[in-house]
Amino acid sequence: MKKIRIGILGYGSVGSALVELIGVEHDAIAARTGLDLEVVAVAVRNITPERLAALGADVLTSDAKAVVADDEIDVVVELIGGVEPARRLILEALGSGKPVISGNKELIANVGAELFVAAQKSNVDLLFEAAVAGGIPLLRVLRESLVGERIKRMMGIVNGTTNYILTQMSENGAQYGDALAEAQQLGYAEEDPTADVEGGDAGAKAAIMATIAFGTEVFAGDVYQEGISQVTADDIASAAHMGHIIKLLAVVEEIDGEVSARVHPAMVPDTHPLASVRNSFNAVFIEGEAVGDLMLYGHGAGGNPTASAVLGDLIAASANLQRGISSGLGKLREARIRPMGECISAFCVHVTVRDRPGVLAEVAGIFGEHGVSIRSMEQAAQADIANIVFITHPSREADVHATLSELRGNSSVVEIGSVIRVIAPEV
């Protein structure tokens, strides 16, 4: 039986769930893996009486630097969040030959490449399953089960807050503001919800998904972001009328060696597996060349699910440490990040026009001139205006924007309403 001495940085909801989980499952893990896991240090910024009572003075410390430097510690778990001081602490731990487990998406999405090199140099693991989609075993599946698979595209519902808001809007007809307020009241959304609702959180996760799936350097800043704050109850009702539900998707794809990573709301067909992902659940839909369609679904946040993902990494890294091996990412490729204008999306476009003879042909003609082909069209006339809903075939984003720009300048067009991307139905 090999004793593994663990140092944890941070003791929030995930850290405390992890300490408890290691305690409860200690014997079962030892029986299954031969590893005797022991939490020997927990570093926090503030030592409170509650934390002292829970962990004891031998374990609790306010000196994170001492934890990563301690020769008595075998593995470091970083649950502080943010780039600094997490980055410096992890570099120090890796440099001294300690594997590191992190749940920190901001860190990995911004300075991951530097950390991967440091881990490789020391031949120890840097694992971060918990950084994307919480308890869902996504990254290990990509790195191991699908290591021989050519991933074409992944589409993820990777932000529970926005999925909760959109679910409330879909199922109860709530307006965005009311659903957000409810999410805040329930603790699903922060007081300042920007990172969730404007796509920043999902964007960091998209960068990590693209990095692991395609073996390329993709950083948070490479990800196109559009949030849900402009999505209205009308948009959702109109999408439902057409057999779709609106979801905030993180989409990553590889096309001819280039990578696209983007976050935006999209109309998902009701029969698509992503459509049934409700409330704060997360899911990632994977399209592989040989394996076809896969979806992984589960809790994307929360102390226990996230601690479960950290524990899986902790056991893997400890087993590798014992064997003197590591499961590095290999050398990351530098791939061109395809600009959004060059990406291909189908769109749903609401256009209000003056209801006069020939107007439909005129408007449809503008789509055609820009190479945007129309899949379906629905028109509702009221008095002297008509509301037309176009759904396009997949088209270059730049061509769609040129179409919209010309429509805005056309005298028959009263208004361009919502413009939302549309995901193709599953066969």
Interacting residues toward a copy of itself by CB under 8 A: 17, 21, 25, 28-29, 31-33, 129, 135-137, 140-141, 144-150, 215, 271, 273, 275-278, 281, 283, 288, 290-299, 302, 304-305, 307-309, 311-312, 314-316, 323, 325, 330
Determine contact, residues 131/208, Cβ cutoff 8 Å.
yes
- Point out which residues pair with 376 in neighbouring strands: 391
Tell me how far, at minimum, the Cβ of 269 lies from a copy of itself, in Å. 12
- Shortest Cβ 139–a copy of itself spacing (Å): 9
On whether the CB atoms of residues 136 and 284 are closer than 8 A, the answer is: yes
Looking at beta carbons only, is 227 or 298 nearer to a copy of itself? 298
Distance in Å, CB of 306 to a copy of itself, minimum? 9
Q: Which positions ≥6 away from 296 have C-beta within 8 Å?
A: 133, 136, 137, 138, 141, 283, 284, 286
Name 259's bridge partners.
254, 337
Number of helices and strands in the chain (H, E): 14, 17
Question: Cα angle vertex 345, ends 340, 351, to 5°?
Answer: 105
- Measured from the CB atom, the residue of 116 and 281 that comes closer to a copy of itself is 281
- Taking the least distance from each CB to a copy of itself, the nearer of 378 and 426 is 426
Measured from the CB atom, the residue of 271 and 373 that comes closer to a copy of itself is 271
Q: Could you tell me which of 307, 24, 264, 42 has the C-alpha nearest to residue 159?
A: 264
- What are the tokens at 273? 């597996």
Nearer to a copy of itself, 300 or 417 (CB): 300
Q: Is 4 left (phi over 0), alpha (psi -120 to 50) or beta?
A: beta
List, in order, residues 6 or more apart from 398 with CB less than 8 Å away.
341, 342
> Is 205 designated active site?
yes
Q: Which is nearer to a copy of itself, 294 or 377 (CB)?
A: 294
Query: Tokens 């509301």 appear where?
Result: 387
CB-neighbour burial class of residue 300 (10 A; exposed 0-12, middle 13-18, buried 19+)? buried
Q: How far is the CB of 328 from a copy of itself (least distance, A)?
A: 11
Minimal distance in Å, beta carbon 282 to a copy of itself?
10
Question: In whole angstroms, how close is the CB of 160 to a copy of itself at the nearest point?
Answer: 12
Q: How far is the CB of 364 from a copy of itself (least distance, A)?
A: 34
Taking phi over 0 as left and psi of -120 to 50 as alpha, with beta for the rest, 86 belongs to alpha
The least distance separating a copy of itself from the CB of residue 278, rounded to whole angstroms, comes to: 7
Nearer to a copy of itself, 105 or 299 (CB): 299
d(CA 202, CA 157): 8
Q: 191-208: buried (b, 16+ CB within 10 Å) or exposed (e) per residue?
A: eebebbbbbbbbbbbbbb
Within its chain, how far is the Cα of 192 from the centroid?
19
Active-site hit among 2, 65, 98, 205 = 205
Q: Retrieve residue 73's tokens.
A: 């510690």
Residue ranges of the alpha helices (H) in 70-193? 86-95, 105-122, 139-140, 160-172, 176-185
186/153 Cα distance (integer angstroms): 33
Using the minimum distance from each CB to a copy of itself, give the nearer residue, 294 or 385: 294
| Active site residue ranges | 205
